[in-house]
């Protein structure tokens, strides 16, 4: 059991969940694996209300997907008897994978969102015990035209705004959609984001957005890593502008925003769609402090040669005063930075492919 | 009084937590039935077990196999395969994964 002030890092991999803990974000202790041989494409850590609840989006190739939660930092896990997230028999489809588990803002303490495959968004109002399908998105007239990225047809990003009832989702491949009424109705918000792989490279929807992050100070400001293209929006997604200049490549999966300071974000570029490795095999985190106008390459502590990709949810920030930055590779190495991503140290190596990481300081 | 059908269901290791750790479950079904009705009865009061065997659509999960007296139900009538009295029904995860 960790003591207050411990940082907990949940590492979801292709063959199970590992938990790492650290008193100082410098030295780390790695747990034995949980859910061995199950894929863990999503993890969540909810520290609202003075307690810590861990979530694991599990996927057994034999026995299907489910969400489990733990209130004792991963010692024991619970799944509600009826299951937490299930399509109704009338829908004619079955849940394939949970891609995102996103606790809502502090002032909506019971609300947790899930983004899933097939493309769907789910809302829990009981702290993630049970989830209800968001009908607004599920019944959207565009749904039949949304496609599947290589990883599957998924809503992989759910971003509730702490300021109001605004909600953004991003999906592969449908692009960004926004709801202004808490999820009742949805509109595509992709103007300026290119879909080079389509006959019309500027469609209303259909973009392959890989990850979207919201600025913590200015909730109208968003950052997006696209399937080629890095963008920002200052008007809640109404329009997007490229901020890829200065980066070694505009492809990648990761987009992180600073939890306290406006205009700071991180990406981890990959060379290209057809060459999904760090550019020249040189793993670097790139950081902007001016909303994407300029980028700084950060590789202190990272290996000289690394040919594994970093997937969309295999990176995160914690919410410490000086936030930590974390990511894991498909080669099973996990890195942590205690100085906002400038220098990294290895937390674990030789794990299975890292699919998801989330970190949080356990409250006192 | 209607005849009942006694069958034995063999449970794979990974699903035993849902049946109190047992490796097999003996069940009295209300008359002749098929695999679907057997799973309905087996899943009664055990919704998580049910969810791990069948999808929301009711389909048998792709990598779960069911054998009735040694015969793969996918080569028979699927979930409609008859389960005779005294049958042994095996639930086995298929060879899959990496």
**DSSP string of A216-267?**
SS-TT-EEEEESS-EEEESSTTSS-EE--TTSS-SEES--EE-SSSTT-EEE
Which residues of chain B have a CB within 8 Å of the CB of A90? none
Whether residue A316 is predicted with pLDDT greater than 60 in this model: the reply is yes
CA B17 to chain centre: 15
Whether residue A3 is predicted with pLDDT greater than 80 in this model: the reply is no
Mutate to test the interface with A, among B51, B59, B93, B95 (most CBs of A within 10 A): B51
Interface of A with B (CB under 8 A): 37, 60-64, 66, 79, 81-83, 86-89, 91-95
Helices of type H across A56-192:
135-138
Q: Which has the closest alpha carbon to B63: A88, A64, A144, A337?
A: A64
Given this model, what pLDDT does residue B95 score? 81
Mutate to test the interface with A, among B14, B58, B97 (most CBs of A within 10 A): B97
Range with lowest mean pLDDT among A187-201, A214-228, A349-363? A187-201
Nearest neighbour of B52 by CB, restricted to A63, A92, A94: A63
**Model confidence over A257-277: pLDDT tens digits?**
999 999 999 999 999 999 999
Reported as a pLDDT band with limits 50, 70 and 90, residue A200 is confident
Q: What are phi and psi of A120, to 5 degrees?
A: -165, 150
Q: In angstroms, rounded to a whole number, what is the distance separating the alpha carbons of residues A40 and A99?
A: 9
Fold of B4-93: Ubiquitin-like (UB roll) (3.10.20)
Q: Any CB–CB contact under 8 A between B61 and chain A? A: yes
What is the percent of chain A where pLDDT is above 90?
90
Continuous segment of H or E residues that includes residue A66:
strand A64-70
Which residues of chain A have a CB within 8 Å of the CB of B97? 37, 61-62
Query: In the predicted model, what is the mean pLDDT of chain A?
Result: 95
Given this model, what pLDDT does residue A1 score? 41
ipTM over 0.85: yes
Exposed/middle/buried for residue A328 (C-beta within 10 Å: 0-12, 13-18, 19+): buried
Asked whether the beta carbons of A330 and A340 are under 8 A apart, the reply is no
**Segment A289-306 mean pLDDT:** 97
Reported as a pLDDT band with limits 50, 70 and 90, residue B2 is low
Give CA torsion, residues A213, A116, A269, A301, to 10 deg: 90
Q: Which tokens go with B63?
A: 């990598």
Range with lowest mean pLDDT among A134-143, B22-31, B75-84? B22-31
Contact A83 B57 (CB under 8 A): no
Reported as a pLDDT band with limits 50, 70 and 90, residue A145 is very high
Contact A66 B51 (CB under 8 A): yes
For residue A305, what are the CA distances in angstroms to A296, A350, B12? Answer: 19, 15, 44
Q: Which has the closest alpha carbon to A253: A144, A97, A357?
A: A357
Reported as a pLDDT band with limits 50, 70 and 90, residue B88 is very high
Angle at A276 (CA atoms; ends A98, A36), nearest 5 degrees: 40
Q: In angstroms, rounded to a whole number, what is the distance separating the alpha carbons of residues A212 and A208?
A: 11
Q: Which tokens go with B7?
A: 């069958």
Given this model, what pLDDT does residue A50 score? 87
Q: In angstroms, rounded to a whole number, what is the distance separating the alpha carbons of residues A263 and B8?
A: 64
**Segment B15-32 mean pLDDT:** 93
Whether residue A2 is predicted with pLDDT greater than 60 in this model: the reply is no
Q: Any CB–CB contact under 8 A between B94 and chain A? A: yes
Q: Which tokens go with A163?
A: 């300021």
Exposed/middle/buried for residue A227 (C-beta within 10 Å: 0-12, 13-18, 19+): buried
């Amino acid at each position: 059991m960790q003591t207050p002030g411990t940082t907990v890092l949940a590492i979801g991999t292709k063959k199970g969940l590992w938990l790492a803990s650290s008193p100082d974000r410098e030295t780390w202790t790695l747990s034995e694996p949980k859910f061995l041989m199950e894929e863990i494409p999503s993890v969540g850590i909810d520290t609202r209300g003075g307690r810590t609840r861990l979530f694991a989006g599990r996927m057994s190739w034999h026995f299907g997907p489910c969400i489990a939660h733990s209130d004792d930092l991963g010692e024991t896990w619970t799944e509600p008897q009826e299951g937490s997230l299930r399509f109704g028999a009338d829908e004619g489809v079955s849940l394939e994978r949970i891609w995102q588990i996103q606790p809502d803002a502090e002032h909506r303490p019971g609300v947790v969102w899930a983004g899933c495959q097939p493309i769907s968004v789910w809302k829990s109002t009981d702290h993630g015990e049970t989830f209800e399908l968001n009908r607004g998105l599920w019944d959207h007239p565009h749904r039949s035209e949304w496609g599947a990225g290589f990883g599957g047809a998924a809503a992989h990003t759910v971003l509730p705004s702490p300021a109001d009832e605004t909600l953004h989702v991003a999906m592969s491949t449908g692009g960004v959609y926004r709801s202004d009424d808490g999820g009742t109705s949805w509109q595509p918000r992709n103007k300026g984001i290119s879909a080079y792989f389509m006959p019309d490279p500027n469609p209303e929807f259909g973009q392959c957005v890989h990850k979207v992050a919201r600025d913590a100070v200015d909730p109208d400001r968003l950052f997006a890593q696209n399937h080629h293209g890095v963008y920002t929006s200052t008007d809640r997604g109404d329009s997007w502008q490229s901020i890829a200049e200065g980066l070694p490549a505009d492809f990648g999966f990761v987009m992180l925003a600073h939890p306290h300071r406006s205009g700071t974000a991180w990406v981890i570029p990959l060379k290209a769609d057809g060459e999904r490795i760090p550019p020249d095999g040189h793993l670097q985190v790139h950081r902007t402090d001016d909303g994407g106008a300029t980028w700084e390459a950060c590789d202190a502590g990272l290996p000289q040669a690394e040919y594994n990709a970093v997937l969309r949810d295999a990176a995160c920030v914690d919410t410490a005063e000086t936030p930590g930055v974390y990511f894991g590779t498909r080669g099973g190495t996990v890195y942590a930075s205690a100085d906002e991503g400038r220098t990294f140290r290895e937390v674990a190596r030789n794990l299975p492919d890292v699919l998801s990481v989330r970190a949080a300081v356990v409250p006192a | 009084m209607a005849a009942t059908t006694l069958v034995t269901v063999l449970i794979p290791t990974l699903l035993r937590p849902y049946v109190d750790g047992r490796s097999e479950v003996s069940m009295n079904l209300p008359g002749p039935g098929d695999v679907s009705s057997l799973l309905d009865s087996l899943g009664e009061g055990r919704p998580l077990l049910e969810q791990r065997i069948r999808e929301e659509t009711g389909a048998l999960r792709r990598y779960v196999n069911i054998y009735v007296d040694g015969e793969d139900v996918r080569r028979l009538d699927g979930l409609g395969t008859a389960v005779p009295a005294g049958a042994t029904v095996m639930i086995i995860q298929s060879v899959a994964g990496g």
